[in-house]
């Protein structure tokens, strides 16, 4: 890790100066031709909406992987698993239009299911740096598109049609209509359909741990082909010039004959299938219905209030009657269904006052109720049912006190967490504090030091494997606590011949006390204290139509085990990845209404070492380098043509945030888990907005 920091330091020193995200008003304006694009903001770097839209993203990884400190594991449509600083999505707060998405549905899939095309913006807190948002590792807030952003001044109606084809991914089309129904009412209706294909891995050969081609494979990963339908309707009411009420409903369905374990490689599925003599593919459907009501109130220059009420219901269904093909497992044959519902309410308010001493008070409430239900209806008769519930309530307040070049930011959060599960039936509460200091000697340079206490109650049991039906109780289980400390600086100005030169860096240390490990033996338990250290850095240089961004990130984890769990001493988080560099180059050829994009992601090796929930025989991770290029052209107003090549050099690789390595199973023997990414994919999109 120290060599990595040295490399980053050399990079920063050579450039002499730095910046992090600057105020949004200083960023390039979004042009009309890319109004459908997705704006991504992150506490570790800023990315322009045009840079994102040109990538023709059909998986969340296409949006987020070049953001320092962030990765998305899983290549399957049902396994979009966001990680921040090696912590997976169970340790993050994830929301769509204010609706909480955190649901531990199935350990072979991620917590988030959404298609990138529907998104207006993604806002990421890399690390938990204030009391405003809970979670151990940070927060990701997705916001879907709305009509008022699609219509220009004086326009009443509009629409968009789009179609995309990828020679190694499939095809999709989307339709959208948006209207200003009256002076105060606007409406958006959106539909997206995806036909996803099985894909070919880089090099056209699926290789095992020994580097030889796995028998019975032809380079195609089976169990990926399926359909995805995503529909959204939003209606907004501008009650007054300072009040807006918006209702939204999204229906998302992903279905197909999928592999039993979407997070594991084809080799594992084949080995288990051959051993059990059961099907390779299983009829599967995941659906999500999200209902939201959002209210915004602007009381002039001093106070704004945002409130949201939501219900988010996720359902995973699978027909497992194929077990009956083997008489020895006929009793397992069933239709299995897991249902998880999150219902909640949150308010976020901000009040500004003062002159010589300027204060910005941020305060609010956050309440979420979790309910899960499991049903297995067996072919030979009988039904298994189980369910659990929990309620998480929080009050928070944070004050930013600014005096000249200095600012101090204290905060406090009260959490009350009540859980009724098979593992633990208890209530946990805690008051956590945060304190940050800022020094801004010039308009272009700012330094920040922060410390934030952490709290997270035990999770409900995994829904799809029984919702606690097969779990053992552990009444001694405690909530996770800890602290996140960060030091960062940011610089941005028109220097060194650039229209804007930027450089920034963040160094962090996260301590999680009482780290909960689901697979601790004999029961889920607090097994030790987890320490995660690392940093993110970036340099940007913009000149004319050229924008460049070079980023670096590193995060390393280590467990100090409690007595009785010495076997886990020194273990790292399984999602940890190697030193990661990315380079983004964008060029706007405005005279021809053309844009060009290139990015490269370089990830270093991770040596074998003890870890949690990783491969048991060989858990080293191979590094990789992936190049992507794309371009867009607007030949006439409203018509946008986009083409590109993902994985230009056909790299054979797997994300280090996905399943990797080789494990041993007492029945199936050696299992090669690695979940390989797609090989070269040539994509083209035609979109017309009117």
Annotate 297-347 with three-state secondary structure: EECCCCEEEEEEEEEEEEEEEEECHHHHHCHHHHHHCEEEEEEEEEEEEEE
pLDDT digits (tens, 9 = 90+) for 621-630: 999 999 999 9
**Contact partners, residue 132, CB within 8 Å, separation at least 6:** 348, 362, 364, 396, 398, 411
pTM given for the model: 0.91
Question: Among candidates 566, 575, 650, 569, which has minimal Cα distance to 610?
Answer: 569
Report pLDDT for 75. Answer: 83
**Contact partners, residue 180, CB within 8 Å, separation at least 6:** 147, 148, 151, 155, 156, 157, 186
Judge contact between 535 and 43, C-beta under 8 A. Answer: no
Report pLDDT for 2. Answer: 40
Question: Among candidates 690, 678, 688, which has minimal Cα distance to 166?
Answer: 678
**DSSP-based three-state secondary structure for 6:** helix
**Contact partners, residue 382, CB within 8 Å, separation at least 6:** none
Tokens of 310: 């939501």
Question: Among candidates 98, 136, 141, 113, which has minimal Cα distance to 368?
Answer: 98
Annotate 621-686 with three-state secondary structure: ECCEEEEEEEEEEEEECCEEEEEEEECCCCCCCCCCCCCCCEEEECCCEEEECCCCCECCEEEEEE
Report pLDDT for 255. Answer: 97
Cα(159)–Cα(153) distance, rounded to whole angstroms? 15
Q: Residue ranges of the alpha helices (H) in 136-206?
A: 147-150
Helix (H) or strand (E) holding 534: strand 525-543
Number of alpha helices (DSSP H) and beta strands (DSSP E) in the chain: 5, 36
Tokens of 347: 């308010």
Kindly give the parts of the chain with pLDDT less than 70: 1-36, 46-53, 58
Question: Among candidates 426, 445, 446, which has minimal Cα distance to 436?
Answer: 446
Tokens of 505: 């860096």
Domains, the chain? 2-689 (2.40.170.20)
Report pLDDT for 261. Answer: 93
pLDDT digits (tens, 9 = 90+) for 610-647: 999 999 999 999 999 999 999 999 999 999 999 999 99
Report pLDDT for 262. Answer: 92
For the chain, how big is the Rg over CA atoms in Å? 25
Judge contact between 206 and 200, C-beta under 8 A. Answer: no
Tokens of 521: 């033996």
């Amino acid at each position: 890790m120290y060599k990595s920091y040295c490399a980053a330091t050399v990079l920063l020193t050579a450039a002499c100066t730095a910046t992090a995200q600057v105020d949004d008003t200083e960023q390039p304006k979004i042009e009309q031709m890319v109004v459908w694009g997705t704006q991504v903001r992150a506490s570790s770097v800023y990315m322009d909406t045009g840079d994102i839209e040109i990538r023709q993203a059909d998986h969340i990884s296409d949006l987020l992987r070049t953001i320092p400190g962030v990765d998305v594991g899983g290549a399957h449509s049902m396994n979009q698993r966001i990680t921040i600083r090696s912590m997976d999505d169970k340790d993050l707060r994830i929301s769509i239009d204010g609706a909480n998405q955190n649901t531990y549905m199935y350990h072979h899939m991620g917590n988030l299911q959404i298609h990138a095309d529907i998104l207006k913006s993604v806002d990421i807190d890399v690390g938990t740096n204030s009391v405003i948002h809970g979670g151990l590792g940070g927060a990701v807030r997705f916001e879907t598109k709305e009509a008022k952003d699609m219509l220009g001044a004086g326009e009443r109606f509009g629409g968009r049609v789009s179609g995309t084809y990828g020679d190694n991914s499939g095809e999709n089309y989307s339709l959208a209509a948006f209207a200003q129904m009256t002076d105060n009412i606007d409406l958006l209706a959106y539909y997206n359909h995806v036909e996803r294909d099985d894909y070919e891995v880089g090099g056209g050969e699926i290789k095992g741990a020994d580097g030889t081609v796995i028998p019975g494979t032809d380079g195609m990963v089976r169990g990926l082909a399926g359909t995805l339908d995503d529909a959204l309707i939003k209606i907004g009411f501008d009650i007054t010039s300072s009040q807006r009420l918006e209702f939204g409903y999204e229906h998302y369905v992903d279905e197909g004959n999928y592999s039993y374990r979407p997070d594991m490689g084809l080799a594992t599925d084949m080995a288990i299938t051959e051993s059990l003599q059961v099907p390779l593919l299983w009829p599967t459907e995941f659906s999500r219905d999200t209902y939201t009501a959002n209210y915004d109130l602007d009381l002039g220059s001093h106070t704004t209030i945002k409130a949201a009420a939501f219900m988010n219901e996720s359902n995973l269904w699978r027909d497992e009657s194929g077990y009956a093909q083997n008489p020895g497992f006929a009793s397992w044959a069933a239709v299995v269904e897991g249902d998880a519902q999150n219902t909640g309410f949150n308010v976020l308010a901000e009040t500004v006052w003062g002159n010589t001493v300027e204060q910005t008070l941020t305060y609010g409430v956050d309440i979420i109720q979790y309910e899960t239900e499991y049903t297995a209806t067996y072919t030979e008769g009988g039904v298994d049912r189980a369910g659990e519930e929990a309620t998480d309530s929080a009050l928070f307040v944070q004050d930013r006190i600014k005096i000249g070049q200095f600012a101090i930011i204290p905060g406090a959060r009260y959490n009350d967490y009540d859980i009724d599960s098979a593992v633990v039936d208890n209530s946990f509460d805690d008051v956590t504090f945060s304190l940050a200091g800022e020094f801004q000697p010039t308009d272009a340079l700012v330094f920040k030091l922060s410390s934030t206490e952490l709290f997270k109650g035990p999770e409900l049991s995994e829904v799809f494997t029984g919702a606690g039906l097969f779990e053992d109780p552990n009444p001694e289980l405690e909530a996770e606590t800890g602290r996140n400390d960060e030091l960062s600086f940011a610089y941005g100005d028109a220097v060194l011949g650039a229209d804007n030169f930027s450089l920034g860096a963040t160094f962090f240390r996260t301590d999680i006390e009482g780290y909960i490990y689901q697979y601790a033996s004999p029961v889920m338990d607090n097994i030790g204290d987890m320490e995660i250290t690392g940093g993110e850095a970036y340099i940007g240089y913009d000149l004319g139509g050229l924008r460049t961004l070079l980023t670096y990130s590193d995060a390393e984890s280590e467990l100090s085990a409690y007595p009785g769990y010495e076997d886990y001493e020194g273990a790292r988080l399984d999602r940890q990845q190697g030193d990661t560099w990315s380079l983004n180059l964008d060029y706007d050829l405005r005279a021809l209404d053309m844009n060009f994009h290139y990015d490269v992601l370089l990830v270093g090796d991770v040596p074998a070492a003890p870890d949690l929930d990783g491969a048991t025989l060989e858990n080293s991770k191979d590094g990789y380098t992936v190049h992507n290029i794309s371009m867009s052209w607007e030949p006439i107003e409203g018509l946008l043509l986009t083409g590109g090549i993902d994985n230009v050099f056909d790299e054979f690789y797997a994300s280090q945030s996905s399943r990797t390595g080789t494990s041993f199973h007492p029945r199936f023997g050696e299992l090669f888990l690695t979940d390989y990414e797609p090989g070269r994919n040539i994509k083209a999109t035609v979109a017309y907005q009117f």
